[in-house]
Chain A
């Protein structure tokens, strides 16, 4: 029934002033999406996106267990996140805290759900912040590496014009 067309983009919405919701459908069954999302060797391959290299991924996937991801952004600085798992329903749902180590006060609670339909899986990541200020900061965090790249690029352009 599902058409061949897939939107490859993540969809980001802000359901409330303190939340961020990220959703994406994958052409894979739920247990594999769950595995790709929770296995350190696999996380290392996707978490940095195009913005750097993942240098460390630790995941102790059990309630009370902790996780920590570290990447080196292309611009040279390190970006690290860590948290603790609060609730795990194997293959279906993970609730964990999430702290950007550049802003340790701004702890968020992230609820990640994996829903399968016709062999495809919708991944939803709901990030609940304690304030709008922290939520906004989190949305900005994606820009740090990207902005730096843009700056470098602008510098190059400026040099070529000089």
Chain B
């Protein structure tokens, strides 16, 4: 089971589905709400067959779900299916957040040291000592 979890992060279909820029565009647009193919074609300015082709991939991978409403079919984003992709980027983001949190500590020290140095310089300014310690 552990390996299934590890594998899912790199080989899940959701990754292939979002690898295509047009499909990401479609996901961006329908993330705002349910849309028909006609709506999508109009908003994206892409040929209908192309939009339909990508929608099919998105449906097959579960990223998008469809329902029939009268004579039209409406598509909407299925958020949970994107979780593996989200987790994947989020962990990288988490690594950088950890790094930056540590940089904050370093920067607080540098800022304090510089403020201290500025006070020292003011105190010593009468000596006309303009040397730079760095």
Contact = CB atoms under 8 A, between A and B. Distances in A.
* A and B: interacting chains: yes
Interface of A: 8-12, 14, 16-17, 20, 22, 24, 26-29, 32-33, 35-37, 42, 45-51, 123, 132, 136, 139-143, 145-147, 151, 154
A147 B93 CA distance: 14
A22 B114 CA distance: 27
A77 B30 CA distance: 43
A76 B102 CA distance: 21
B98 A36 contact: no
10 contacts: A8-B101, A10-B100, A12-B96, A17-B19, A36-B107, A49-B99, A51-B95, A140-B9, A140-B92, A146-B91
Interface residues of B, number: 30
A126 B77 CA distance: 29
Nearest to B91: A143
Contact of B98 (A14, A16, A51): A51
A147 B9 CA distance: 10
Contacts of A16: 21
Interface of B: 2, 6, 9-10, 15, 19, 21, 88-89, 91-108, 110-111, 114
Given A46-B99, A154-B2, 19 more contacts: A9-B93, A10-B97, A11-B93, A12-B96, A20-B92, A35-B110, A36-B103, A36-B106, A37-B103, A45-B105, A45-B106, A46-B100, A49-B99, A136-B15, A139-B92, A143-B92, A145-B95, A146-B91, A151-B2
B96 A32 contact: no
B102 A143 contact: no
A140 B88 contact: yes
Contacts of B9: 140, 143, 147
Nearest to B104: A26
A10 B92 CA distance: 9
A154 B3 CA distance: 11
Contacts of A32: 107, 110-111, 114
B111 A28 contact: yes
B91 A142 contact: yes
Given A28-B107, A139-B92, A146-B94, A46 B6 contact: no
